[in-house]
């Protein structure tokens, strides 16, 4: 004896979220698995969930920061690998977005950099001196290569010296 309810259960359905065919376990089942059900729930209640998340993070800011810092410290290598892989796979897109951002915010960026340099003049000088001390040989090689290229290129004549005769 076959009831209409049993016949309906045997018919395959398509998931309302991912459109995958599945065999429902009950008449009211609309999603193939819990993942699709949760995704549909979150999509339908996006604004409410965003407000709840904002309230949670505001109330637990320190705890979330500590947990995030602990996770990042424990997984530093894998996070670095993931970021490097993403940058390698999306190099063109990242460069395009960076150029677009810089073009749109050029004045603001220059103003911020000037303010930082003015406020941290001593710190920048110390960092520069430390870099020069640590990379003295490398800097000397670069300067020598630059000077040799300028000497051999006729497009870049030497500037006149004070001993040259002037007309």
Which DSSP string corresponds to the chain?
---HHHHHHHS-EE-TTT--EE--SSTT--SSSHHHHHHHHHHHTHHHHHHHHHHHHHHTHHHHHHHHHHHHHHTHHHHHHHHHHHHHHTHHHHHHHHHHHHHHTHHHHHHHHHHHHHHTHHHHHHHHHHHHHHTHHHHHHHHHHHHHHHHH-TTSPPPPPTTS---
pTM equals 0.49
| Domains of the chain by residue range | 12-58
**For all residues of the chain together, what is the average pLDDT?**
90
Digit-coded pLDDT (tens) for 91-101: 999 999 999 99
Digit-coded pLDDT (tens) for 111-148: 999 999 999 999 999 999 999 999 999 999 999 999 99
Section 5-25 average pLDDT = 79
């Amino acid at each position: 004896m076959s009831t209409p309810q049993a016949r309906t259960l045997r018919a395959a359905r398509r998931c309302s979220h991912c459109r995958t065919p599945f065999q429902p376990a009950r008449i009211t089942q609309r999603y193939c698995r819990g993942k699709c059900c949760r995704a549909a729930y979150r999509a339908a209640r996006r604004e409410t969930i965003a407000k709840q998340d904002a309230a949670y993070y505001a109330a637990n800011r320190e705890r979330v920061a500590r947990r995030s810092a602990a996770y990042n410290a424990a997984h530093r290598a894998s996070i670095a690998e993931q970021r490097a892989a993403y940058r390698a796979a999306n190099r063109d897109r990242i460069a395009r977005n960076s150029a677009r951002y810089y073009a749109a915010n050029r004045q603001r960026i220059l103003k911020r950099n000037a303010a930082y340099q003015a406020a941290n003049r001593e710190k920048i000088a110390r960092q520069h001196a430390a870099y020069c001390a640590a990379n003295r040989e490398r800097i000397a090689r670069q300067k020598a290569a630059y000077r040799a290229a300028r000497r051999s290129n006729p497009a870049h004549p030497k500037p006149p010296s004070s001993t040259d005769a002037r007309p």
